Structure 1
Amino acid sequence: MENHISGSWTLDKYEVKPFVSLLKEFSILEVKGEDAEVFLHGQFTNHIKNLGESFRLAAYCQPQGRILALMRVVKYNDAYLLILPTDLVAGFVKRLSMFILRSKVTIREAQELSVYGLIDPDIAPPEIDHAVLTDGYLICRVIDWNNKARVMVVGDAQTLSERFTGVTDDAALWFKSEIESGTPWVFEKTKEAFIPQWINLDKIGGLVFDKGCYPGQEIISRVQHIGSTPRRMIVLKSNDSVTVLANTDIFQANQAVGNIVMSVNSSAETVVLAEVSLKSMEGGTCQINGVSFSMSTLPYSI
């Protein structure tokens, strides 16, 4: 099964020297036009107006508040680029296009662009969650991992292939760094499985409460006004090597308590990003596919 469909990766090497990977799991949509900013601002869980140099995490939800797609949004010349998993692109474009109506907006898949993931890069990164345009490509900083800077580089595929050497198309280490830094991605297998707070988007800058309406806002705001969410995202680890696919149930005392967001396994361990009930977190351990996993801390508070 292809990695970007399963939400599961197998990691053979842990080397970071620095690490440069072509993130083939992602595609890039280009949205432009006179009304693009206003249109996108009214669709997502985060601010799009006055984006500036931000590299912004945002979700697109259905009316019941469940996430249809999670993406990074960045300005590139006169367009907005949406970086999201490839297996969501077709359905996302079809649904989003339904709401353009008379707005002056165009959406296309920018197949000439690629996304690279770099850990401990040999380039100067901007501030976290910001992007800078250098030599025609974007350097986009995300949260650090193991005290190493991480960036997603976005630009013309040919230009990037000439600029960076030692590139691998095995993104397992990149997604391990995403998991351990508490950064989720939603794939086809987990589409409509989560509301934003369940996967900590309010804690990592992907959800705000000071903007206008967007699909699902009423449900999402209601959860926030209650004062607490019954579910949160955590990291689970096991010393066993287990293939765990996204959208797999998590158990505790034979009761289902959560769901897999993403996972990476190697010969030495399995690391999982999981959405679980708050009550189950009191137990400290749980089971996935019959294997015991311990709960690990995130680099931010939930």
Structure 2
Amino acid sequence: MSSSEENKFIVLDKTSTIKVEGDDRIQFLQGQLTQDINLISQSKALYAGFCNPKGRLLAFMLCYAAYDAIHIQLDSSIKESILKKLKMYVLRAKVSLNLLEETFTSIGFVGSQALIERDIKIPKNHLDIVQYHDLIIMRLGQDGERYQLMGEAFKVSEFIKLNFAKYSTMSVDDWNNLNILDGIPD
């Protein structure tokens, strides 16, 4: 992406994050989600589904390792119901589930200029992750330069101020269209 008109960003305020922590977090999620949670690492995220007992998909989510926890990003409109359903299955597992509200946020952006200017390692493949000063930067899609940045809200806000002066804002529809082109369901 060479021209500044191609560099855009959006605050992903229609998504929410559930933090899953505790000694049994991987085992617990392995039994609840449609993905091999053991494949998640500090450098790789995965998509997963959460289904009801009959196998009907209730939520499509992005799962990634963050610090000593696993974060589950999902649509904000279903955050409370999914959190409640997941908590029903905790039983004796050493795990806690908490909704990260105002303290945690995500942005999406197109164009790697902000990463190059800060000499930040660019994630190479779809769902690859790099860490940068307590922020998580993930590549989305195989083609193009599309990324998501997650972290504590004040750190993300500071990153935006320092790095996105040459970026324009992007509409939700434009971001959703890019998701569709990358095969990411809504």
Q: TM-score, normalised by structure 1?
A: 0.53
1:133 aligns with 2:131: yes
Change (3 A) 1:143 1:169: closer
1:87 aligns with 2:85: no
2:45 matched residue in structure 1: 55
2:157 matched residue in structure 1: 161
1:35 aligns with 2:24: yes
Identity among equivalent positions (%) equals 26
CA distance in 1, matches of 2:82, 2:168: 29
Three-state SS of the structure 2 residue aligned to 1:138 is strand
Given candidates 64, 68, 86, the residue that maps to 1:74 is 64
The gaps in structure 2 that reach 5 residues or longer are 116-121
1:99 matched residue in structure 2: 89
1:181 matched residue in structure 2: 182
1:46 aligns with 2:30: no
Q: How many residues align?
A: 169
Change (3 A) 1:128 1:16: farther
1:296 matched residue in structure 2: none
Counting only pairs closer than 5 Å after superposition, residues 1-302 of structure 1 correspond to structure 2 as: 17-52=6-41, 53-111=43-101, 112-122=103-113, 123=115, 124-144=122-142, 147-164=143-160, 165=164, 166=167, 168=169, 170-185=171-186
Report the residue type matching 2:27 in the other structure.
V
Q: CA deviation at 1:16?
A: 5.0
The C-alpha deviation readout for 1:214-240, integer Å capped at 9, x for no partner, is xxxxxxxxxxxxxxxxxxxxxxxxxxx
Q: CA deviation at 1:179?
A: 1.4
Report the residue type matching 2:28 in the other structure.
F
User: In 1, are the aligned partners of 2:5 and 2:168 still within 8 Å (CA)?
Assistant: no
The C-alpha deviation readout for 1:157-185, integer Å capped at 9, x for no partner, is 11111112356473221111011222102
CA distance in 1, matches of 2:81, 2:179: 24
Report the residue type matching 1:32 in the other structure.
E
Q: CA deviation at 1:32?
A: 0.1
User: In 2, are the aligned partners of 1:126 and 1:132 still within 8 Å (CA)?
Assistant: no
The structure that is helix-richer by fraction is 2
The gaps in structure 1 that reach 5 residues or longer are 1-14, 186-302
Return structure 1 stretches of 4+ with deviation > 4 angstroms: none
Three-state SS of the structure 1 residue aligned to 2:37 is coil
User: In 1, are the aligned partners of 2:7 and 2:168 still within 8 Å (CA)?
Assistant: no
TM-align CA RMSD = 1.7
Q: TM-score, normalised by structure 2?
A: 0.84
Three-state SS of the structure 2 residue aligned to 1:102 is coil
The C-alpha deviation readout for 1:12-47, integer Å capped at 9, x for no partner, is xxx952111101110111000011110001111111
Report the residue type matching 2:172 in the other structure.
A
